[in-house]
Structure 1
């Protein structure tokens, strides 16, 4: 199969779909790989590195899309990229379609087969291709939240002016993490490492027990009832939204009315913004202009947080995606999905139809079962 790797064009996105090591694996399996020139510049990999791994370097995205039978990316295709996709072509990337009808319409119109990283599952019920970026985003949430809390950073009004770990004689910041999954766990770990007082809220008692066993008395846990969530958020200096419903839009956990009662200068970091955000006042921002203020509360809602640390993120992502890229290239999408039900859960768009039930529901589109395509 001929695999194409275009340069990412989303604002301040420096990751790339494959590392040179990933290219070498594919070439070793007998596949051809075309990489757009300078696609790996953001992770410190040159065109020569990709050529040494066996890739052909092409001058622009149009050439890559035209040559490829499968396009491997990181972020969801932008409108100009959707226009280059074609019927029968495979797109393998993060999609986050549920809150993005424009992208959905572009993919449906193209006739391509789009497989989303974020809904592929594993035998333990996890999301193995979302997990590496969730680990990065969870850790970054505390870094960016700490900066936004500084009075001189983030916005014209500045943050609360609180140091996460405090100092002797001055208490640490209160950090509330809503969601105890991968993002929430890594956010909590980072916040505790900086000396903050951390509370994780979740509706899964088994998950709260697991967190308690791992972190013991260093971490506070709470059941995420409406009352408990509201009370925690109103007393917090930094709130991290880390809730995920696979494939679907994120639930709105904090309403505008509640936000207005938070501490002026407190900060919320909405890691769920790719799926529409879990705060009513959330709207996607970019690394170029990451924060804004609503009712005195600083919002950080960058939709591609791991793009700020592209080398770490790309290598972590390729470690996870490469086995699936190889399966798709070796067998074709239909045989690969038929052989692996976990990969089949990533099948989201095929030949003008939505093939993921949660995405179809949130977009108000007809749903076609993947099993009917794989029969």
Structure 2
């Protein structure tokens, strides 16, 4: 081979690499909108630093003016990281709209036809008018907390559960304190005094996080569930300091009677806290039901920081795969969180609740390939 041929070969080799990079890093526009003022929702999806990591990856971010007020970040903090501050209407015109709360019908109608809405699962998605508006606009709706990571973990949901569980212990300590209107006691014991008793009924990350936080605070913690294998997992996860007990009527009555704090979540098998046990409660007991109360709304900046870390990787994967549409087509875990897709309702649970017909998203994706 001559020297001239060698030079020509060297010049040609980098060209295919350049083409691959251009295809893999297509620009996208994200619209970031705030929570509705008439709700108590405070949680937000992106911090300024998280937004900066996305804008540095050739992603354009349009944020509604004042959207991050709940997490105590001014618009200027986002502007420093390349975020454009616009009206809510302009943010809703982005290719991908990010909103912690599902959008109301009036906002869905302002979205660009064929755009994508990424949100957390909420009651609005079980309302027929909202779903019909999403279908009419051919909006692809994805619930982040329903999606699974590459190792089949609901990473978004896990983060919220952990913050809710730990936050519940903060709520409990505040309630028991004099400042919070309680009798003025610590969760932890001191020399000569027993610690407070915390009873957790449930399973999963939210129960484990609450148990760990309570034990770290020095409380005496009991976890009750109606599945022995789940209790074994809880013991392995939380350590030997955690007391695990199967739910039996007499045992449950005795634990409820002595508990200073009761946290109620979802058990492995169907379970409803007996109403007649209310007579056994202490006058000063603090009771929190995780189905009704989300302590993470009191620490929204922590939520935003945690979710930003996940979203940076999430959108990084989307860029590598050529966009969010390609990500849906090639990622089964993402498909688990899709509610509406190309004008069709693809979530069976939502469909059954509003008496509509659902379509299998896998069939739709296969038909387009």
Residue in 2 aligned with 1:189? 212
SS across alignment from 2:156: coil
Partner of 1:213: 236
Superposed counterparts of 1:261-300, under 5 Å: 261-273=280-292
2:334: which partner in 1?
A: 343
Instruction: Please name the residue that 2:186 is paired with.
Output: 163
Matched, 1:311 2:338: no
Higher Cα Rg, which structure: 2
Does residue 43 of structure 1 match 2:62?
A: no
Distance, in Å, in 2 between the alignment partners of 1:93 and 1:150 is 36
55, 61, 67: which one aligns with 1:27? 55
Matched, 1:101 2:101: no
Map Cα deviations across residues 200-231 of structure 1 (whole Å, 9 max, x no partner): 12345444224323544311012345665555
User: Aligned residue for 1:374?
Assistant: 365
Counterpart of 2:224 in structure 1 is 201
Distance in 1 separating the partners of 2:337 and 2:297: 22
Note the aligned Cα RMSD (angstroms).
3.0
CA contact (8 A) 2:105 2:133 kept: no
User: Are the counterparts in 2 of residues 230 and 258 from structure 1 also a CA contact under 8 Å?
Assistant: yes
Q: Aligned pair 1:147/2:178, yes or no?
A: no
CA distance in 2, matches of 1:131, 1:122: 11
Given that 1:139 and 1:190 are in contact with CA atoms closer than 8 Å, whether structure 2 keeps it comes out as yes
Q: What is the deviation of 1:316?
A: 0.6
Q: Is the CA contact (8 Å cut-off) linking 2:95 and 2:112 kept in structure 1?
A: no
| Change in CA separation of 1:333 and 1:374 when aligned onto 2, cut-off 3 Å | farther
Structure 1 stretches of 5 or more lacking a match?
274-300
Distance change >3 Å, CA 118–CA 214, structure 1 → 2: closer
Closer, same or farther: CA 105–264 of 1 in aligned 2, 3 Å: farther
d(CA) in 1 for partners of 2:264, 2:355 = 26
How far apart in 2 are the matches of 1:269 and 1:85? 38
TM-score normalised according to structure 1 size: 0.77
Report the CA distance between 1:100 and its aligned residue.
6.1
Deviation of 1:105 after TM superposition, in Å, equals 3.2
C-alpha distance after superposition, 1:82-107 (max 9, x if no partner): 4534542211111234x8633x5313
- Of the candidates 240, 247, 250, which is equivalent to residue 263 of structure 2? 240
Q: Distance in 2 between matches of 1:345 and 1:228?
A: 39
The structure in which a higher percent of residues are helix is 2
Match of 2:103 in 1: 77
Q: Count residues in correspondence.
A: 334
1:323 aligned to which of 294, 307, 313 = 313
Aligned-partner Cα distance in 2 for 1:234–1:244: 20
Q: Which range is displaced more, 259-268 or 78-87?
A: 78-87
